[in-house]
Structures are given as C-alpha cells and as structure tokens.
Amino acid sequence: MDTHTVDLAELAQQLRTDAVRCSSRAGSGHPTSSMSAADLMAVLLAGHFRYDFAEPKLPGNDRLIFSKGHASPLLYAMLRAAGAIDETELLTYRRLGSSLEGHPTPRLPWVDVATGSLGQGLPIGSGMALAGRHLARVPYRVWVLCGDGEMAEGSMWEAFAAAGYEGLNNLTAIIDVNRLGQRGPTRFEWDTDAYARQIRAFGWNVVDIDGHDTDQIDRAYTAAEETPDRPTAILARTKKGRGVAAVEDREGAHGKPLPAPDDAIAELGGPRDLRVQVAEPDFREPRPGPPGRAVELPPFDIGSKVATRDGFGRALAAVGDASPDVVVLDGEVADSTRAKHFAEAHPDRFFECYIAEQQMIANAVGMQALGWVPYAATFAAFLTRAHDFLRMAAIGGADLRLAGSHAGVSIGRDGPSQMGLEDLAMLRPIWRSVVLYPCDANQCAHLTATMADLPGISYLRTTRSETPVIYRPDEVFPVGGSRTLVSSSHDRVTIVAAGVTVSEALEASERLADLGVPARVIDAYSIKPVDASTLRQAAAETGRVLTVEDHWPAGGLGDAVLDALGGRLPEVRFNKLAVRGMPASASPAEQLAAAAIDADAIVNAAQRLVA
C-alpha cells in the first residue's frame, strides 16, 4: 500500500504530541509508553490498516487491539488523525463522562475489547483471527500492539502457541520493545534475539526492526501481509519517551504526564493537524442479523436419572442446529463436559483450545466481539485459571456463555483437585453475570438454550453425578426464577437448595413431614439473579431458612439467599449447610454425607432450627 501520501515522520510526531497533550491535560496517563510506539502506529494507520471508521462493525474491517492498553493516548491520537474524534474530545481524556478512558473499552465504537490487564490482547487477537479464518472466512487482518513487559505473561505464550499451531497468517503481533517496564528494565531489555528464538519456536514468522525507522516498519508490515502460512511477530526496538530528551529511555517516567509538557510539545515540533485517509476494507458486505432460535430440546423422562452435564451437551447440539452463529470452545474435556455432542453435530463451529483455559476464554471474547455466540466449557474448577479474562470481558461488555462441569464434591472419587467449589463465588461478583445451577436434565436443557440470548457473562453449573429428572421437558425456567417444590400453610422451615442438593432436600422434606416438621423446599436454580421475592415470602411465612449447597460456604447459594433477605426479617432464623472440610476421594454419596449436605444432614439441621 502507498505510505507516501502523508509524511510519516510528521504523523508520528503528531501522535506523540497529542499523547503528551491529552495526558498532561488529564494530569495522568502513560505518554512515554505511547511515544515509543508512535512510528509503528503512524505507518500502520497511513499505509496498512484497512478500516471504515463510519462503519466499525463491517465484517471486512481490519482489527487493531492495544494489548498494552495503558498506551491509550496513542490510540486516541490515532483516532484524531483518522478523523474519528476531534481535538476537543481528545482533550477530555480520563475525565468524568469521557469515552476516552485510561485504558480502552468498547464504549468507543472503534474499540472491540477492553484491555489494560497485560497479556490479554494477543490471546484475544488470536481468537479474532481464528474467527476470520474458520468462521467468517473474510480476509481481514488482526493487528495487536504488545509491550515487551507483557511478554513475561504466560497467557502471551498460550497465544503464541495457539496461533502458531493454527497457522493464523492473518494475525500480526507488533511488539514494542522499549526496554523499560513500570519500575525498571524488562527481562531481556533490547535483546530481541532472545524474544525471536522463543517466538520462532512456536511456528511464527519473526521480523526484527528498528521501531523508529519508518521504511523498516513499512517493509515489516508488508512481509507480514505476504507471509502465507503463519502469523508474524514484529520485534521493534524503540525508546520509551522517544522525542523528548527529559524522558527518552529514562527510568522513573512510566505512568506519569511529562514534567514540562509545553517544553516537550515544543521539542516535538508543536501541535499539528494532519489527517490520514485510512484505506477502506476490500470486503464490505454487512453480516446478516442473528437468526431466530426455534430450538427443539431433547426430552428426558421424569423419574429417570440423568446427569445435568448430559442435558447440557445434548441441548447445546440442538441450539447449534437452530443457530448458525453459535460456536463452542473446549478446554480438552469435551467428553466430560458433554460438549462432544456439539462437536459431532457441528464440527466446523467447534474449537479445541486444548488445556489452555485463558486462551479458550480469550478466543470466546474475540469471537463475540465479531458477532458470534460462543459457549466455552470446561471443568468448573479450571475456570479459575481464566478469572482475569472473565473480569476484563465484563469490563468490555462481552457476551459469553460458560459451562462448568464436575462441580462440587458430588463428582466422587477424583478428589478435590477436580471439584469446583469456588466457582459460584468467582462468578457471582462479575458485572452483569448470570449464574444458573440446574438440578435435572430438562431444566438444564432449557437454561442452556436460554443462555444463547443472554447479555453479559452467563454461567451454567453442571454435575457429573446423575440426578433424578423431576421436571417435564416442556417446562420453562426464567432467569431470576425459582421453583417451590413442596409447600403448605403449616411449613415451619424453608429449605433452599440447588443442583445436586435439590433431590436431597426433597428426601429430607418427606422425612421431616413424618417427624411432624413440615418443610418447604425451594429449587433456587437461578443463583444470580436470585428470586428474592419468593425467598422473602417463604422466610416470612416459615420463620426459618436452611440453605444447602455443594460449594464452599463463602460466596455461593447461602450468601445469595442472605443477600436477598437483606436484613429485612431479623426475626428469621438462618443456617447454611455447605462444604466446610477439605474433601478426599470417596463415592458421591459418601462425599455428600462427609460434607454434611445430604438428606440426613438436612433433617438434623432443620430439626435444630425449629427446636
């Protein structure tokens, strides 16, 4: 492409100047991290990036991710140079009400994902490139600006491994090797050979350049575009704070506005008003809208015993039948989660991410940003590895569907390393999250289909052990609802259960009735949002509430119920049954008994409450 229609050196200086100006006006920010990469972004914007800023959702647009999200002043300076924002908006950086946040988020229409937790941009970019190659089959490119500091993050190397394995030649990592991190030198400083050896080992094309030489940068981008069979990493040696002697390649300047901004701006040549006519994408067809979802869910017979993971897997395949935009990502446990049913039915939309949970979630984040509807499934316990990706996904307003199988002690003999006992506590606090814990296969199938249209991050907790099917296949389970399974006007205690403990609670209620203690049983399958009105009414009518859950005591069902009651009924007696000791290997029934969350434990606890 023609990079000579604009003076690249002047454009780079404008980007530097604008980064200094906006961060100085804000009194905070990372201008020096922006200044090091200004030449890299000037050449990209003027000569290689294909994007229609008037239609940021066009499927053919290239994608640019600032993995080093703290260099946001540079991104916003690029938007001004492209005419997407004006100078007035640029100077609102980091101010209340401005969309120009300290780290980029999709509040700006030209930002696809939130960044700022280092090590996430390249994994997400890999997911976007994967979608371009295997789903949309549209020839856009994904450009990711990385910092050398984040090269120490393990998630970066999951991305290098995944993209190299997939041969994603539509992905380019631009690594700004400016030598300095937040508090001192980075691990390899300017030893780009050290980085190159590692990256090449993952099957990448590597180009080593002077990151302030615009001709070298231009040739490197061209090489990336012309590499037919693998992704490219451009190792660009730069200087932090480039262009201002007071901060150039100096420690102690990270994350601070320049000490004498007027002098710095003068040294950079003063403000400029260059505009870049960014090339439009070759492919301009809009993506079709989402399909209607008329899902034929698999039925399960009342009275049979079926694991909820089986309900999930078979329903997921049915959702895929009805919805060509649904994709499924696996952490190399599809046999166990039952995502294998989708893989068998829709192999072209099933992505094996192997044992790399951070990359699995990153792929999902990248795909949903491009309009796909991803479900990601693994053991509930292993989702903990990806918590920071989920946190950042929520910040970016991502829509994800998660399924965590093998939850709780009820998995049996595999032992505590495989038991998800923290997952409810991990997912409930996430912004806009929905947390669902079905007790039978029909309920699970319905909720699996419901998740396809939920905004935000939704989580479905499934179990390995079989549970009785108690609901008809045609029953509906709204998010935020519950089911009162046993109730009378004489109830003396309310038992609130979810998942595997529902059948235990039902058995306990029968035994309590024989003992003269009528007990109400509520299936709180929606843990967030929880059915607060039903719970408050039951608490007011019975005066006693007992929760029982296959989870640690902190942050799970019991705490959700307590939050719903919210101190409104101080006279209500409350007790929480949960897993309180470290489990070991045992059968599912032995596990529930040892954890004191089985029917016997519920009967005993209810009797103590009414005594």
Task: List the catalytic residues.
Answer: 357
Determine the 3-state secondary structure of 65 from DSSP: strand
* C-alpha–C-alpha distance, residues 319 and 339, integer Å: 12
* C-alpha–C-alpha distance, residues 334 and 331, integer Å: 7
Sole residue written with tokens 């939309």: 349
* Contact (CB, 8 A) for 522 and 483: yes
Residues 6+ apart with CB under 8 A from 541: 491, 520
What's CA 218's distance to the chain center, in Å? 33
* Contact (CB, 8 A) for 571 and 512: no
* Contact (CB, 8 A) for 280 and 51: yes
Q: Are strands 526-528 and 434-436 parallel, antiparallel or unpaired?
A: antiparallel
* Residues in a beta bridge with 575: 546
Burial of 369 (0-12, 13-18, 19+ CB in 10 A): buried
User: In 3D, which of 38, 104, 98 has the Cα closest to residue 69?
Assistant: 104
User: In 3D, which of 580, 489, 578, 478 has the Cα closest to residue 533?
Assistant: 478
409: left (phi over 0), alpha (psi -120 to 50) or beta: alpha
* C-alpha–C-alpha distance, residues 592 and 506, integer Å: 15
* Contact (CB, 8 A) for 502 and 477: no
* Neighbour order of strands in the sheet with 526-528: 350-352, 326-330, 373-379, 400-405, 457-461, 434-436, 526-528
Sole residue written with tokens 């941009």: 121
* Contact (CB, 8 A) for 148 and 235: no
* Contact (CB, 8 A) for 549 and 557: yes
Rg of the chain, C-alpha, whole Å: 27
